[in-house]
Amino acid sequence: MRPGLPAVLLCVVLAAQALASGYSTFSAGIAAANRGDADESIRLLTQAIAAPDLSPQFLPAAHFIRGEAYFDKQQCDPVIADMSASLALNPAHFEAHLLRGFCYAIEKKQNDLVESDFTAAIGVRPDLVKGYLVRGVFYVETEQKYDSAIADFTVAAAIEPDNAEIYELRGNTYRLEGKYDEALTDEDKAIDTRPKFAAAYYVRGQIHEDQGKFEDAIDDFKTVVEISPNNTEASLNIGLTQWEAGRFGDAVQTFESTSKARPDNAYWALWLSLARAKAGKTDDDLALRAAKLDLAKWPGPVVNVFLGKITADQAVQAASIGSADVLLGQRCEANFYLGEWQSMHRNPSATKTMLTDAANACPHEFVEWPAANAELKRLP
């Protein structure tokens, strides 16, 4: 028979065993996360967090890693909860602020919560470019605070002067402000830094397109396709620019190709109809293309106008239905496409009114904005 352990030593051994139990579950959860098994990581880390014997020093990491797993599953509410728990225990966690900020943005929480987290991340690590880029993109895409975004990108460029992504982002922001000289300088710098940087060629093509330098734009979009053959957006932009340049026959060929690549895209179906109309061709297969589209969703009502199923006024009414963040885009698109439909039906007054509204109100990142401006220049 083994002699009994002294009471104090027994307590130490039992505590060590308990710690090993909680810690082993925590470690297994990390291992599951590292191999990409989000569900298993969540299961194990949930057990570890609930375990009374897990040392408190591991709780911030347990919440953070479980939150990352939820983020991988695109479940933002538990991400926000876990990042908040992690930050309550360790406020100086750069990535926790970023992930919670991302989820606030995805879940369309208050913009001040998004900005607060991104700003807090920068405060924790002002030497890291990532925080400035994330906040700058937020300023551009959500709040249209272009000057604030440019300031963030400029700080980032000072930290990493050879980072091509910074110049691509800042150049696009200058483009949205209409500062084309500065925009081109940045995109050229991005391309010089990374010669196969498709995104920089794409933005430079948009700048040329906005300036009416259509052939330069087409060359840049073609370069994007050479670098990234599956980039259907660049292929679409080739057709759009051909259309803006008045090369309607070329645009028809491009849109026929892109429509085959994405038969489920209603916008491309519309552009093929517009190009064929400008080229003097009938669009006999629009009904066949429409059969592959979900016309219950926007811009389905516009397609139904082209098919003769509803009136233009009904489509305009449909454009006014939806959440506040989509109404601007829908109204922009309704004005442009229905303005073109009015042109096809020889109603010059309605055509000019609707295209003028599109040119004045469309967000500059929408393809309908340069198209409306190009079309207005062609009107008598």
Q: Work out the average pLDDT over 38-66.
A: 96
Q: Work out the average pLDDT over 44-54.
A: 94
Rounded to two decimals, the pTM is 0.84
Does 19 score more than 50 pLDDT? no
CATH of domain 16-126: 1.25.40.10
Reported residue count of the chain is 380
Which pLDDT belongs to residue 321? 92
Q: Measured between alpha carbons, how far is 95 from 79 in angstroms, rounded to an integer?
A: 12
DSSP string, 217-259: HHHHHHHHHHH-TT-HHHHHHHHHHHHHTT-HHHHHHHHHHHH
The first and second tokens of residue 84, run together, are 């908040």
CA distances from residue 324 to 102, 317, 376 in whole angstroms, order as listed: 20, 15, 28
Please write the tens of the pLDDT for every residue from 327-374. 999 999 999 999 999 999 999 999 999 999 999 999 888 999 999 999
Question: Given pLDDT bands bounded at 50, 70 and 90, which one contains residue 259?
Answer: confident
Q: 354 with 342: CB under 8 angstroms?
A: yes
Angle 164-177/146-159 helices, nearest 10 degrees?
160
Which pLDDT belongs to residue 73? 96
Which pLDDT belongs to residue 115? 96
Q: Is the peptide bond before 3 cis (omega within 30 degrees of 0)?
A: no
Residue type, 19: L
DSSP string, 146-173: HHHHHHHHHHHHHH-TT-HHHHHHHHHH
Question: Given pLDDT bands bounded at 50, 70 and 90, which one contains residue 14?
Answer: very low
Does 17 score more than 70 pLDDT? no
Q: Residue 356 is inside which H or E element, if any?
A: helix 348-361
Residue type, 226: E
The first and second tokens of residue 165, run together, are 């992504």
Please write the tens of the pLDDT for every residue from 108-134. 778 999 999 999 999 999 999 999 999
User: Of 148, 52, 133, 139, which is closest to residue 98 (Cα–Cα)?
Assistant: 133
Q: Measured between alpha carbons, how far is 161 from 147 in angstroms, rounded to an integer?
A: 20
Please write the tens of the pLDDT for every residue from 280-326. 999 989 999 999 999 999 999 999 999 999 999 999 999 999 887 79
Q: 146 with 172: CB under 8 angstroms?
A: no
Q: Measured between alpha carbons, how far is 331 from 351 in angstroms, rounded to an integer?
A: 15
Which pLDDT belongs to residue 161? 98
DSSP label of 116 = H
Q: Measured between alpha carbons, how far is 360 from 353 in angstroms, rounded to an integer?
A: 11
- What percent of the chain shows pLDDT beyond 70? 95
Q: Measured between alpha carbons, how far is 337 from 241 in angstroms, rounded to an integer?
A: 16
Domain chopping of the chain, boundaries: 16-126, 294-380
Q: Work out the average pLDDT over 142-155.
A: 96
Q: Measured between alpha carbons, how far is 221 from 238 in angstroms, rounded to an integer?
A: 6
Which pLDDT belongs to residue 87? 97
Does 145 score more than 60 pLDDT? yes
Least confident window among 100-109, 143-152, 367-376: 100-109
